[in-house]
Structure 1
Amino acid sequence: MDFPTIHTNFWDAVIAVPIVMSITQLIKTFVNVPKKYVPTVALVVGLIFSIFISHRHHLFAGIFMGWFYGYAAIGSYASLKTLFISFRNHKNPQHQ
């Protein structure tokens, strides 16, 4: 079995990860998912998106990149949330 050459590209960083993050937020909002399961939802969305859309011709590449999409979405959301909270607290010191 040959392992595929997997390239991360513009599609992965600029399109797929924000889409996974957005779909996760929609699911979180409309399905009322408990907070502790949101990272799992992002991972599952990333896997589904990668396996069935972006890497549909190779399962191994789809699984590998699906993990990338899911965890990149989780990290991006956590970073944006921390930045927003920090910015809000910096502008309004009474919220600390």
Structure 2
Amino acid sequence: MDLPTIQTNIWGAVLAVPVVLIVTELIKWITRIPHKYIPTVATILGVLISVFYSHRHDLPAGLFMGFFYGNAAVGTYAGMKTALTAYRKSDVTYD
């Protein structure tokens, strides 16, 4: 059994993750969704974007890449938040 070849394009690599990140933030601002469900919302958005736009003719590839898009957005947000929090707590000055 051969594994399927899944190709990504510039849309998936550069645009899908920021779109998922921005739309997830908008959903957080508009609704009062509990914070513990935000990663699930991002994953669902990633899957929807992947299945209906970037991999619309290949459902397995769309599902597979959609999980990457959603989880990459969550990881990007978590990394930025951690870095910003650490920067704010540090008292290091660069003279």
TM-score category, normalised to shorter length: 0.7 to 0.9
- Tell me how many residue pairs correspond in the alignment: 92
Instruction: Supply the RMSD in Å over aligned alpha carbons.
Output: 1.9
CA distances 1:20-72 after superposition (whole Å, capped 9, x unpaired): 11111111110121000000000100011100111101100000000000110
Q: What residue is the counterpart of 1:78 in the other structure?
A: 78
Distance in 2 between residues matched to 1:40 and 1:61, nearest whole Å: 19
Secondary structure of residue in 1 paired with 2:90: helix
Structure 2 regions of 5+ residues with no counterpart?
A: none
Distance in 2 between residues matched to 1:8 and 1:90, nearest whole Å: 39
Q: What residue is the counterpart of 1:18 in the other structure?
A: 18
1:1-96 matches, cutoff 5 A: 4-91=4-91
Identical aligned residues as a percent: 53
Structure 1 regions of 5+ residues with no counterpart?
A: none
Larger fraction in helix: 1
